[in-house]
Structure 1
Amino acid sequence: MRRRSVLLAGALGGLAGVASVARGASAWPGPYITVAADGSGDVSTIQAAVDAVPAGNTGPFTVKIRPGTYHGQVVIPADKPFIVFRGQGPDPTAVVISDDRANGTPKPDGSGTWGTSGSASVTISGHDFSARNLTFANTFDEDAHPEFTGHQAVAVLTRADRIVFDNCRFLGNQDTLYLNSPDAATNSRVYLRKCYVEGDVDFVFGRATAVLDRCTVHSLDRGSATNNGYVTAASTSLSNPHGFLLAECRLTSDAPAGSVSLGRPWHPSNDPAAVAQVTIRDSVIGAHVGAAPWTDFGTWPWRDARYAEYHNRGPGAAVTADRPQLSAAEAAAYTPAAYLSGPDGWDPVR
């Protein structure tokens, strides 16, 4: 086994030095660094591991994360692509990356609040990022902070292309999973395979092209008899035919029957060119979703958005005038491969 050294950046809390990063000739693809909260790894924080990845990295650099809870924001900059997070526990619950700030949380320097994007526990701006077998969480307590005007609290914000989450969990309340792109003119793709996503208001949102494949999407009960939130709030650019696709998913909840909406169309800054595109197909929908599950967002009517279903089943599935359906011919163009392939033929589906 050969050894490779990586200079740890200054974010190691003042510790300067070199960490040895092992590279197996065939056992591991590229260099790696081990994170352990108890100090038994190369570093003890996720951000320290990210800081150790060379800028302009051109191949997979794996961050092996031993079981534990890692508190604090993590930022992966645009000049650090190909980072791989691998949870080393027996299942995704063993490794938890979390933070607890919200839109309305004051910044420590007194310069205002964090805002929705700034609330993210993990922000991913480097392309070709992937994560497997771990949990991302925002543990902000809404009830403990009624004085905050903004309770949006993001667990993960993606801003880059060709992102993969495999067997991961995303935990939060409002705005759990923010799937976005660098700007409205840029399309970024995200693939989630066999993941668990939990929240209440707009908890899968943004303008990215994203496929949730065989995922569990769980709506929390906010204690209302009639309105327990919205699963999606897509802001797909009108020029992009592909927004969110939920394929072979399970939509679950403990909320009362008919009290959760599948989505509402988000128009950031009232942008008329942000026209939500969401397709839910071949999925099991629980009774928490009502017969008219798409709803307006302020003055923006849901009927102007691009919503569709196909071959769904379960107590919350129905075919009504308020639930646009794809024909069999149309459905052939609404597949994970069609959403993700793009001009480069990207194919992460497995």
Structure 2
Amino acid sequence: MRRKLILMLALAAATLCSSAANKYDNPDTLVVARDGTGEFRTIDEAIEVCRAFMEYHKVIYVKKGVYKEKLIVPQWLTNIEILGEDRDNTVITYDDHANIKSAERPKGIGTFRTYTVKVEGSDITFRNITIENNSARLGQAVAIHTEGDRLIFVNCRLLGHQDTVYTGIAGTRLLFKDCYIEGTTDFIFGPSTAWFENCTIHSKSNSYITAASTPKDRPYGYIFNNCRLTADAGITKVYLGRPWRPYAYTLFMNCDMGTHIRPEGWHNWRKKENETTARYMEYNNRGEGSKTDKRAGWSRQLTKKEAAKITMSKVFGINDSWEPEY
């Protein structure tokens, strides 16, 4: 009898501990506020209490404020939405750059450790928020580094200088909708398949917008649709892209291109052989920077029939039938 009682008490204790451990195991919204008026003061604290591989949608609501965090959304988290109270005044910021030296890394930390936010998990959404790398212009400095699949960014500001947005894993799919993205050199780069819809792409120096590294076997890389290409005052010589890898895929269609876009449009990264493999295309663009009479001869202007076949559902359907809801 005594043994049975002990077992019952142990079971009850375990149940209580389990219940306490799962306090946040539900679809309720978590509130983050830097001033202490929420459940958490940092976004990282809120992420830490989320259960692995959630099958329900959980919102982390971030109140206005500046959050200096080097943030990782780990691989085992899914179905999280990080929602800012106000896009311009809810800011995640950090200031690493590639040339920061340490005893362990005397040559610098390198590009891929400089992120402000790294998204390893899949089915993650960022909405109404600013993510910035505000380092000095002393080298590559990534604001957002993605590795997960089916990622969505809606009404976000992604701010930096060189290498602002790194889409890091081939075969992963990303949607950027109504976003503002700025940078200097190669500020959208990597091997992922990414669709940019109704975004403002802002150049801060005479350089290159994209540096896709699309693998040869991937049918799509970067697609910019209904976007606006703008620049700081005095910026007049910007390329649409250069191929980080030989089979880079980048398409601009239905976009408004400012006068800062160079007449030739595209650069071969000083490798003549890239001209035979890079997949650089345009369709139905407008603005002074869209004129095609002096475009690089190795880029293509799509026909109406070809462009009609490039839809978000087809591009994102390369792995499964994912159609992002935004």
Shorter-chain TM-score: what band?
A: 0.7 to 0.9
Q: In structure 2, the residue corresponding to 1:338 is in which secondary structure?
A: helix
Aligned-residue offset at 1:302: 4.7
1:333 matched to 2:309: yes
- Please list, as runs of the form range in 1=range in 2, the aligned pairs for 1:310-321 lying within 5 A after superposition: 310-320=283-293, 321=295
Which stretch of structure 1 is more off in the superposition, 313-322 or 71-80? 313-322
In 1, Cα distance between equivalents of 2:325 and 2:313: 7
Seen in structure 2, the aligned counterparts of structure 1 residues 257 and 120 have a Cα distance that, compared at 3 Å, is closer
Against the structure 1 CA distance between its residues 81 and 300, is the aligned structure 2 distance closer, same or farther, given a 3 Å change threshold? farther
Which residue number in structure 1 is paired with residue 51 of structure 2? 54
Alpha-carbon separation, structure 1, partners of 2:311 and 2:325:
11
Q: Deviations over 1:123-174 (max 9, x none)?
A: 00100000110100000112xx5xxxxx110000010110000000000000
Percent identity between the two aligned chains = 33
Question: Counterpart amino acid of 2:149?
Answer: D
Distance 1:66 1:139 in 2: 20
Establish whether residue 117 from structure 1 lines up as the match of residue 112 from structure 2.
yes
In structure 1, distance between residues paired with 2:230 and 2:274: 22
Which structure is larger by alpha-carbon Rg, 1 or 2?
2
Q: Whole-Å Cα distance in 2 between the matches of residues 257 and 64 of structure 1?
A: 37
Contact 2:83/2:126 (8 A) holds in 1? yes
Deviations 1:27-74 (A, max 9, x none): xxx222111101111111111111111123222221110000000200
Structure-1 residue corresponding to 2:241: 263
Match of residue 183 from structure 2: 199
Q: Secondary structure at the match of 2:122?
A: coil
Task: Say whether the 8 Å CA contact 2:194–2:223 is kept in structure 1.
Answer: yes
2: CA distance, partners of 1:301 / 1:134? 41
Aligned-residue offset at 1:348: 1.4
SS in 1 for 2:112: helix
- Distance between the aligned counterparts of 2:60 and 2:267, measured in 1? 41
The one-letter code of the counterpart of 2:284 is H
What residue is the counterpart of 1:285 in the other structure? 257
Q: 1:14 — aligned with what? A: none
C-alpha separation in 2, matches of 1:78 and 1:282: 35
Q: Distance in 1 between matches of 2:236 and 2:63?
A: 41
Kindly indicate whether the alpha-carbon contact (under 8 Å) linking 1:135 and 1:168 is maintained by their aligned counterparts in 2. Answer: yes
Q: Does residue 209 in structure 1 map to residue 193 in structure 2?
A: yes
Give the paired residue count.
305
Asked whether the equivalents of residues 6 and 53 of structure 1 are also in contact (C-alpha less than 8 Å), the reply is no
**Structure 1 206/255 Cα, relative in aligned 2: closer, same or farther at 3 Å?**
farther
CA distance in structure 1 between the aligned counterparts of 2:127 and 2:17, rounded to whole angstroms: 23
Q: Is the 8 A contact 2:64 2:89 kept in 1?
A: yes
Q: State the partner residue of 1:180.
A: 168
- RMSD of aligned residue pairs (Cα, Å): 2.2
Task: From 49, 70, 74, give the equivalent of 1:77.
Answer: 74
Q: Distance in 1 between matches of 2:183 and 2:317?
A: 29
Q: Counterpart of 1:178 in structure 2: which amino acid? A: Y
Deviation at 1:180, TM superposition (A): 1.9
Contact 1:213 1:247 in 2 (8 A): yes
- Distance in 2, matches of 1:254 and 1:93, equals 19
**Do the aligned partners of 1:35 and 1:49 also contact (CA within 8 Å) in 2?**
yes
1:268-301 deviations in Å (ceiling 9; x for gaps): xxxxxx5100000000000000110100224365
Summarize deviations over 1:196-246 as a string: whole Å, max 9, x none.
Answer: 00001000110000000000000013xxxxxx1100000001100100000
Post-superposition offset of 1:18: 7.3
Distance 1:123 1:160 in 2: 9
Give the TM-score of the pair, scaled to structure 2.
Answer: 0.88
Note the C-alpha offset of 1:19. 9.7
More helix by share: 2
Q: Which runs of 5+ in 2 are unaligned?
A: 1-15
Q: Contact 1:134 / 1:168 at 8 angstroms: preserved in 2? A: yes
Of the three residues 123, 136, 145, the one matched with 1:141 is 136
Shift of 1:6: 11
**AA partner of residue 87 (structure 1):** G
Q: TM-score scaled by structure 1?
A: 0.82
Match for 2:291: what amino acid? A
Aligned runs of 1:31-110 on 2, under 5 Å?
Answer: 31-89=28-86, 92-107=87-102, 110=104
Task: Return the alpha-carbon distance in structure 2 between the equivalents of residues 79 and 311 of structure 1.
Answer: 41
Question: In terms of mean alpha carbon deviation, does 239-248 or 35-44 score higher?
Answer: 35-44
- The answer on whether the counterparts of 1:252 and 1:285 sit within 8 Å (CA) in structure 2 is yes
Cα distance, 1:348–1:190 mapped onto 2, change above 3 Å: same
